[in-house]
A and B are shown apart, each in its own frame.
Chain A
Amino acid sequence: MEIEEKIDKVMQSMLGEFPELVRNLFQDTLGLEIEEIDSEKWSIVPRLSMKQEHSMNMGLSNDDWSSLLAMSFSAEMFNLIPGVDGDIELARSGLGEVLNGMGGVLAGNSTIIDAFQELTQAPPMYYANEVLYPKTSSIQGVLVCQGETIDFGWACRSTISPMMRRMLERNKQ
């Protein structure tokens, strides 16, 4: 199976109950209501290199690309989080907690883990407070602020960068 097909399989594995779990996570952690984007409107993430920046921005203690999900948050979203009162650092910290929780959700979802295992041939990290799967991520959560609501969906690269392909090939060996 080609890598592109495997990534597609991972994408498919993230359908089902996962969006509901993510919705609950946002509700429970930040008190935010979010709505799922129609899958036909999912964005295509144009590049991979933003992950490290986002991980750091979200306050995760990752030294390298250790995020499966680097979520893209717009500045508008910061203002929607109850209790943050315009404090951007506080908002980032809260969103970091959501990402931490996401790691726990993923670690408990065998379908997603199996799909990633097939993609990367690397052992998953079953650790709730680390977001899953180092260095091989090609999937990105997308949150879109629209007025008072936040939509979310999963985006996937349509192509794989040479660097990522090398990482995937290396993990296979």
Chain B
Amino acid sequence: MSKRVLIVDDSTFLAKQIKDFMEKQMSFEVVGLGKDGNEAIALYKELKPDLVTMDLTMPNKDGQEAIKEIMEEFPDATIMVVSAVRGSAMLECMKLGAKGYVEKPLKFADPIFVEDFKKSIEEVLEF
């Protein structure tokens, strides 16, 4: 049975890229798309996906706050951060319970990146 994925990113372009990747490269089912932290929390509660890809810098409620709230209520949630933000934010997200961190830009034209991204997703799901 394919994994069910929730993608949270305020960039329509990146959300589409990630969705295409999940569906075509991973054969996963993308069950929801959120554009900010509030939508992430609401969609998680509604959909209970196997995997969440979470951007950090988003309007209304950022990804870090959304991770905190989701993990408090659903400690088994599998969240992978996909963000251009580096440094301490990365560590903070892992402390909050995120299981992986992939840095933007997402180089989908680069086969090495694609392989690394696949492995990162698999590792997160096996965590």
- Chain A residues near B (Cβ < 8 Å): 25, 27-29, 31, 59, 61, 82-84, 89-91, 93-94, 96-97, 100-101, 104, 128-129
- Secondary structure type dominating chain B contacts: loop
B107 interface residue (CB < 8 Å to A): yes
Q: Nearest-CB distance from B63 to chain A (Å)?
A: 11
B13 contacts across to A, CB distance below 8 A: 84, 90-91, 93-94, 96-97
Contact A128–B86 (Cβ < 8 Å): yes
A-B contact pairs, 16 of them (CB 8 A): A25-B105, A28-B105, A29-B105, A31-B109, A61-B10, A83-B17, A90-B13, A93-B13, A93-B14, A96-B11, A100-B57, A100-B84, A129-B56, A129-B57, A129-B84, A129-B85
Query: Apart from A29-B106, A59-B11, A97-B14, what 14 extra A-B contacts exist at CB < 8 Å?
Result: A28-B105, A28-B107, A84-B13, A90-B16, A91-B13, A93-B12, A93-B13, A94-B13, A96-B11, A101-B104, A104-B84, A128-B84, A128-B85, A129-B84
B72, CB-defined interface residue at 8 Å: no
Q: Are A61 and B59 in contact (CB under 8 A)?
A: yes
8 A Cβ contacts from B79-126 to A = 84-86, 104-110
